[in-house]
Amino acid sequence: MDIEKIMIGLEKKHPGETEYLQAVHEVLESIEDVVNENPHFEAAGIVERIIEPDRVFTFKIPWIDDNGKVHVNIGYRVQFNNAIGPYKGGLRFHPSVNLSILKFLGFEQIFKNSLTTLPMGGGKGGSDFDPKGKSDTEIMRFCQSFMLELWHAIGPDTDVPAGDIGVGGKEIGYLYGTYKKLAREHTGVLTGKGINWGGSLIRPEATGFGTVYFAKEMLKTKGESLEGKLVAISGFGNVAWGAAQKATELGAKVVTISGPDGYIYDPDGISGDKIDFMLELRASNEDIVKPYSYEFPEAKFYQGKRPWEVKCDVALPCATQNELNKEDAASLVKNGVSFVAEGANMPCTPEAVEIFQENKILFGPGKAVNAGGVATSGLEMSQNSMKLNWPREEVDRRLHQIMIDIHDTCVKHGTDEDGYINYVKGANVAGFLKVANAMLDEGII
Ligand code: NDP
Ligand code: 2IT
């Protein structure tokens, strides 16, 4: 396989789609050996076919604000690959959203969903709509307009969207209500639903919990546990709070959270009522973490800075893509970090990942580490199909086991000759093999 040639061709077709090209490049580097060892993959054009989405929907979303003013946003759904199950992946509402970002997320989702062991293909969607500062009725009207276009393209056995940045339980509710009205059916077409209308227990905290379950397994390979460890977390959204809660429960001390305005360092640990306050901050729709330092004076706020300058044993980037660069990685290494696990999707730049790996620091990539979110979405789909609800303990037990299994799969496919576990390689190879073999079985289509 000639990676350079494939990348040049892809860039020519999709100029400027930097995040998408970055994600593809990383996967190609990891799977180069298995593709070369399996000429039937090349003969069937598996790589060329897996790196292009099956189709992309783009649509206009007009909506009216509370003052009667008309706004127009752009909506997307990228249906990337359905070789092993219906397209599955979140919706992101954020002003930075563009096709490149959604294609990178949809591409990553193929391998992540494959790793979960559940039958789900890869997809992603969203809009450049900014939910920040919008009233509930504005968000509702926007979601209704979004679904008016999208509902034709999705279905419980076709494509099952969920949440991501800017899309939580509230938005899923409005989207679901609109779908139900248009399709005249009550099915598991979205995940992350409310518990009274088809949702699964544990789904809200699943990504954060899964992240920590995975990190726990990483520590175990070195004979260590989270007990007494200092943990730095970025972000303060859905993934960050679940991770903070579970890490604390397992005996670690979480010393940072962050928002776009800067980060909070709390030497006493962010736990209990402090996590509740973190959730209040997030619900305020203002997206700032500074008020935490007014509420808890022992905590310090660092304006415009990222948490990667603090001393910690474990770093969990849980905010957004490319939020941890090579300088941040060098600073973490200097301060003695031993484990880095990505709660967000692709938060570490390729240069940062290289620094961690060169220094033999165990590094878990998002597609493995944060797969607990979509895995629990898969469990929600199973419950919807069976028309029953599992208790909290049952969902948590399954989630935990799935994370242990993903970890073991990464170790199996990613352990180098010197014993270092290259989780990036392990996740990409294992995720790829299952999908590639399914594509082989299903023919060139
Ligand atoms: P949320 O919307 O709950 O939280 C993300 C928050 O982080 C946003 O409010 C955003 O603020 C803020 N943020 C953005 N950039 C930064 C930054 N540089 N530093 C600190 N904070 C920032 O989203 P989630 O928690 O759901 O998602 C976080 C990450 O986890 C994303 O990468 C997502 O793709 C990934 N993920 C989510 C899953 C899920 O189930 N929700 C599953 C797997 C992965 P602002 O709007 O101001 O930028
Ligand atoms: O990035 C992700 O895996 C998610 N945002 C969750 C997707 C899902 O379908 O639950």
Query: Between residues 13 and 279, which one has the greater pLDDT?
Result: 13
Residue 329 tokens, joined? 């990685």
**Which helix (H) or strand (E) is 88 found in, with range?**
strand 87-93
Pairwise CA distance, residues 262 & 268, whole Å: 19
Please give the pLDDT value at position 413: 98
Contact 402, 378 (CB under 8 A): no
pLDDT per position as a tens digit, 237-247: 999 999 999 99
pTM: predicted TM-score of the whole model, two decimal places: 0.97
CATH class of 3-187: alpha beta
Q: Is the pLDDT of residue 287 over 80?
A: no
**Which pLDDT score is estimated for 279?**
86
Distance CA 5, CA 90 (A): 31
Q: What is the mean pLDDT of residues 342-368?
A: 98
How is residue 323 annotated by DSSP? -
Q: Is 193 a catalytic residue?
A: no
pLDDT above 70 as % of the chain: 100
Catalytic residue among 112, 124, 246, 434: 124
Average pLDDT, the chain: 97
What pLDDT was estimated at residue 282?
81
User: For tokens 């494509």, what's the residue?
Assistant: 159
Q: How confident is the model at residue 435 (pLDDT cuts 50, 70, 90)?
A: very high
| pLDDT at position 288 | 82
pLDDT of the residue at 354: 98
86 Cα to the center of ligand 1, angstroms:
25
| 213: its two tokens | 């379950």
Atom of ligand 1 minimally distant from the CA of 94: 46
Identify residue 214 by its one-letter amino acid code. F
- With beta carbons less than 8 A apart as the criterion, state whether 424 and 26 touch: yes
Which numbered ligand comes closest to the C-alpha of 112?
2
Q: What is the mean pLDDT of residues 5-18?
A: 98
From the CA of 88, give the closest atom in ligand 2: 9
Domains 3-187 and 206-369 share a fold: yes
Pick the atom of ligand 2 nearest to 105's CA.
Answer: 1
Query: From the CB of 373, is ligand 2 less than 6 Å away?
Result: yes
- Evaluate whether the domain defined by 206-369 bears CATH number 3.40.50.720: yes
3-state secondary structure of 228: coil
* Ligand found nearest the CA of 378: 2
Residue 139 has pLDDT above 80, yes or no: yes
Neighbours of 239 (CB within 10 A): 32
CA-closest residue to ligand 1 atom 43: 370
* Residue 298: Cβ within 10 Å count: 10
Residue type at 406 in one-letter notation: I
Domain ranges of the chain: 3-187, 206-369
285 pLDDT more than 90: no
One-letter amino acid for residue 301 of the chain: F
pLDDT in tens, 410-421: 999 999 999 999
